[in-house]
Amino acid sequence: MNLLGGVAHLALPDPYATAFVALGLVYGIPVFGFTLLWIALAAAVTIHTARRAAVLADLVVVHLPGGHRRHRH
């Protein structure tokens, strides 16, 4: 049950209070689904970026003191 629908019976007659419960479900289920989709998309982008950064880190040239350079492999 949603928060508004749970207390709607205190301020509204019965048919309207029941409608608020139904409205909360009809609105809340798609919004929750969209939230899960957004989390999955964010996780996929983060994992892709982390893997890409790990590959690019191998190409970094490390400058050592004394003018020496070492390539990281």
**What pLDDT digit, counting tens, does each position of 44-61 carry?**
999 988 887 766 666 666
Give pLDDT, residue 52: 78
Distance CA 35, CA 7 (A): 25
pLDDT digit string, tens, across residues 10-46: 988 989 888 988 888 899 999 999 999 999 999 999 9
Is the confidence at residue 73, as pLDDT, over 60? no
Burial 25-42 (b: 16+ CB within 10 A, else e): eeeeeeeeeeeeeeeeee
Helix (H) or strand (E) holding 70: strand 69-71
| pLDDT given at position 12 | 87
Q: How far apart are CA 48 and CA 27, in angstroms?
A: 32
| Pairing mode, strands 61-63 and 69-71 | antiparallel
More confident residue, 17 or 67: 17
